[in-house]
Amino acid sequence: MAMTSIRPQPFRAAVVQASAVPADSAASAAKAAALIAEAAAAGARLAVFPEAFIGGYPKGASFGTPVGIRKPEGRADYARYHDQAVALDGPEVAAVREAATAARMVVVIGIIERAGSTLYCTALIIDGTAGTMAHHRKLMPTGAERLIWGFGDGSTLPVVETALGQVGAVICWENYMPMMRMAMFAQGVTLYCAPTADDRDGWAASMRHIALEGRCHVLSACQFIRRGDYPADYDCALGDDPATVLMRGGSMIVGPLGEVLAGPDYAGETILYADIDPEEIPRARYDFDVAGHYARPDVFRLEVDTRAKPPVAFRTDSD
């Protein structure tokens, strides 16, 4: 995607570290809308929310699936989880879009998208000023996530041109996929958004590396959520003490030379802010442009299949 000809002006960005309402997607959407308004009141023009903020990240759940076995109670857990997933044209997404439009903000937020009987871990990119929305379906669910989420394809790898810069979203451990990152860099991403559920110490180092590698601003958002935010009968391998912290946050904002502008924060629910100067991007890329003068296209080439793929491929005798 070509870089915008209108040079973006400095602005304030926010990463939202908050707990979702895992059993009530409508309540999660309402909470997101309120947090968008709060961030806008603080002067933010971009807000990034965590992975699966609407629909819920099922931390510690097994869905009753030891190897070779599907327990009936696990099927019931999945049915409840499926019920909380949302459609792209549903009322929960509409509530977030309306909040983004009212605040004239760019919003990146993680949802659990329902498409038929398949669920996808999806990140929405909403430009409330331009009235546009794009979405990215997680390409590679990690570990047991593969039990409950389908695999995205190359048709949902957008970098969206906004008045603030080029916005892309890479979800959780997709950030460890070098070719996925390069697909973002090749599209000129300047605002690299990383909704995540990873709250480990090493995550901050990865965010700093990506900012330095891509010479872009990186905005990572993770939930701070306790066991008590989930229903009492939620099947959780981490126990049932309501005070147990299931995800401790670690949200942060990093500048294009790897400098930490905000966070990481592990203390609780919060909104982190940083002032972003888009002029820092060309300054940073002066000596290293990963998709430009440092790319060596005579040696390396990235090919991305952007065709949409059906969940199941059917062939006929005429194929």
Helix (H) / strand (E) element for 285: namely helix 280-285
Q: Is residue 19 part of a domain?
A: yes
State both tokens at 151. Answer: 């695999």
Q: Is residue 276 part of a domain?
A: yes
Q: Which residue of the set 31, 92, 172, 236 is catalytic? A: 172
CA-derived radius of gyration, the chain: 19
The pLDDT, as a whole number, for residue 319 is 45
Tell me, yes or no, if 121 is annotated catalytic. Answer: no
Q: Is residue 317 part of a domain?
A: no
DSSP type of residue 136 = E
Q: Is residue 305 part of a domain?
A: no
Tell me, yes or no, if 309 is annotated catalytic. Answer: no
Beta strand residue intervals within 5-142, DSSP E: 11-17, 44-48, 106-115, 118-127, 132-137
State both tokens at 219. Answer: 């905005």
Q: Is residue 182 part of a domain?
A: yes
Q: Which long-range contacts (CB under 8 A, 24 or more apart) does 292-295 make?
A: none
Q: Which residue of the set 31, 59, 92, 138 is catalytic? A: 138
Q: Are 34 and 18 in contact (CB under 8 A)?
A: no
Residue segments in the chain with a per-residue pLDDT below the cut of 70: 1-6, 311-319
Q: Are 64 and 77 in contact (CB under 8 A)?
A: yes
Q: Model confidence over 233-243: pLDDT tens digits?
A: 999 999 999 99
Residue showing tokens 């992975």: 51
CATH of the domain at 206: 3.60.110.10
Range of the domain at 263: 11-285
Tell me, yes or no, if 172 is annotated catalytic. Answer: yes
194 Cβ contact list (under 8 Å, min separation 6): 48, 169, 170, 171, 172, 175, 207, 210, 218, 219, 220, 221
Q: Is residue 21 part of a domain?
A: yes
- The CA distance from 99 to 108, in Å, is 12
The pLDDT, as a whole number, for residue 312 is 52
Q: Is 217 helix (H, G, I), strand (E, B) or coil?
A: strand
- The CA distance from 169 to 259, in Å, is 20
Q: Is 132 helix (H, G, I), strand (E, B) or coil?
A: strand
Structural domains of the chain, count: 1
Q: Is residue 246 part of a domain?
A: yes
Q: Is residue 295 part of a domain?
A: no
- The CA distance from 299 to 222, in Å, is 37
The pLDDT, as a whole number, for residue 309 is 83
Q: Are 41 and 273 in contact (CB under 8 A)?
A: no
Q: Is 237 helix (H, G, I), strand (E, B) or coil?
A: coil
The pLDDT, as a whole number, for residue 298 is 87
Nearest residue to 226 (alpha-carbon basis) of 76, 77, 59: 59
Q: Which residue of the set 31, 51, 59, 213 is catalytic? A: 51
Helix (H) / strand (E) element for 271: namely strand 270-276
